[in-house]
């Protein structure tokens, strides 16, 4: 049975052709070129060189990133979906950690790791090669580690080879001054993806979506780390709005719509919105308007799981520092008169009640308390 596989790393797209678990041919494209490539024509050319054509393919396979549950999370993934739909053939998917296990055939045992750069976390699993069945056997449940945790585990595994998801750079990243790693292996993208997809086909047939244990652990681990991890504040972008809306809907009785945020980001020259992240998790956000020498807080929200940890105060203090060189003399905000917790929070930061706006809020109707912070005060 003939099939194609697709494997995407941070820098490269590998397309391979296989038959019954054997590699027939492969090609690699830099990722910045991939969206412009005619996937169907490229694949047809590969097959033609082997004396075959597209209609000879029985199915297609895709290697999914350990930290991305979506099969078609990229433009190249969508192209593969369109192709298999057109050819009316099944799509098989394997997870990248499982695919790396096939490198154990070259070293008997392998420590497979993949780095999620966005969160500074590592996905790790150990595999041993079963020479009788000619397949890799997972020795433990895949799990999530920080860099330091992984270094400690690697130091205890002197008899294993490190198999790195993005080839040598990630392996080099784990080295420290005290000692080198036991060894690392630059794995063969095309060969292992062809073998892993073929095994998946024999085991389960057409693709079925599944949610491995390490995906659940990733979310838990990231949230645990985010509570006390390094904070990164940056300007809000439209791609943040999916996570922003999850917080917005849980924070306000009259939440803004996604369109309201888009309008602010695209068309309001006086509006500035900031996001606070830790380990790739959005902790909260703050929005301000700057009009002449005064600022106005339009939005401040912290994710319910991360409240009472000082993140709201951190956002405001950072934005205050950002405002000073811009000539802002006063920062204003409105809160519901009944919101005593918010009133106490802002008073601790130096805000003082200045006025009341009658019937300012709706749903439910309520007065607003105007609070002001003078930035010129010492």
Q: Is there a catalytic annotation at residue 346?
A: yes
Q: How does strand 330-336 pair with strand 294-302?
A: parallel
Token representation of residue 333: 């905000």
Tokens of residue 111, six digits:
């420590």
- Which of the following is catalytic: 26, 248, 264, 334? 334
- Is-contact 214 38, C-beta < 8 A? no
Task: Find, among 47, 46, 39, the residue nearest to 76 by Cα.
Answer: 39
* H helices, E strands: number in the chain: 11, 18
Closest residue by Cα to residue 142 from 67, 63, 204, 225? 67
CA distance 13 to 11: 7
Which 3 state secondary structure label does DSSP give 228? Answer: coil
| Active-site hit among 67, 184, 346, 366 | 346
Burial environment of residue 323 by CB neighbours within 10 A (0 to 12, 13 to 18, 19 or more): buried
Catalytic residues: 334, 346
């Amino acid at each position: 049975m003939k099939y194609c596989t697709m494997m995407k790393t941070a820098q490269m797209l590998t397309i391979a052709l296989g038959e019954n678990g054997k590699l027939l041919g492969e090609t690699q494209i830099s990722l910045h070129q991939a969206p412009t490539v005619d996937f169907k024509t490229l694949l047809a050319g590969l097959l033609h060189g082997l004396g075959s054509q597209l209609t000879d393919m029985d199915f297609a396979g895709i290697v999914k990133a350990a930290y991305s549950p979506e099969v078609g999370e990229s433009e190249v993934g969508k192209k593969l979906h369109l192709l298999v739909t057109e050819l009316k053939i099944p799509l098989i998917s394997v997870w990248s950690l499982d695919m790396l296990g096939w490198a154990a055939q070259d070293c008997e045992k392998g420590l497979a790791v993949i780095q999620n750069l966005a969160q500074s976390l590592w996905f790790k699993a150990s595999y041993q090669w079963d020479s009788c069945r000619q397949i890799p056997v997972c020795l433990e449940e895949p799990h999530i580690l920080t860099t330091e945790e992984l270094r400690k585990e690697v130091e205890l595994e002197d008899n294993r080879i490190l198999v790195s998801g993005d080839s040598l750079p990630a392996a080099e990243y784990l080295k420290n001054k005290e000692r080198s790693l036991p060894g690392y292996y630059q794995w063969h993208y095309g060969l292992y993806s062809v073998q892993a997809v073929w095994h998946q086909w024999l085991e389960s047939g057409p693709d079925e979506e599944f949610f491995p244990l390490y995906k659940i652990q990733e979310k838990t681990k990231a949230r645990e780390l985010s509570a006390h991890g390094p904070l990164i504040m940056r300007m809000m972008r439209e791609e943040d709005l999916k996570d922003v809306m999850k917080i917005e809907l849980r924070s306000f009785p009259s939440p803004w719509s996604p369109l309201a945020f888009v309008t602010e980001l695209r068309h309001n020259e006086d509006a500035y919105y900031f996001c606070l992240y830790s380990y790739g998790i959005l902790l909260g956000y703050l929005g301000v308007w700057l009009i002449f020498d005064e600022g106005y807080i339009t939005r401040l929200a912290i994710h319910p799981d991360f409240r009472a940890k000082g993140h709201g105060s951190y956002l405001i203090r950072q934005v205050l520092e950002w405002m000073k060189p811009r000539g802002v003399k006063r920062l204003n905000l409105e809160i519901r008169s009944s919101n005593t917790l918010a009133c106490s929070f802002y008073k601790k930061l130096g805000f003082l009640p200045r006025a009341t706006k009658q019937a300012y809020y709706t749903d439910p109707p309520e007065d607003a308390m105007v609070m002001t912070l003078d930035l010129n005060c010492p």
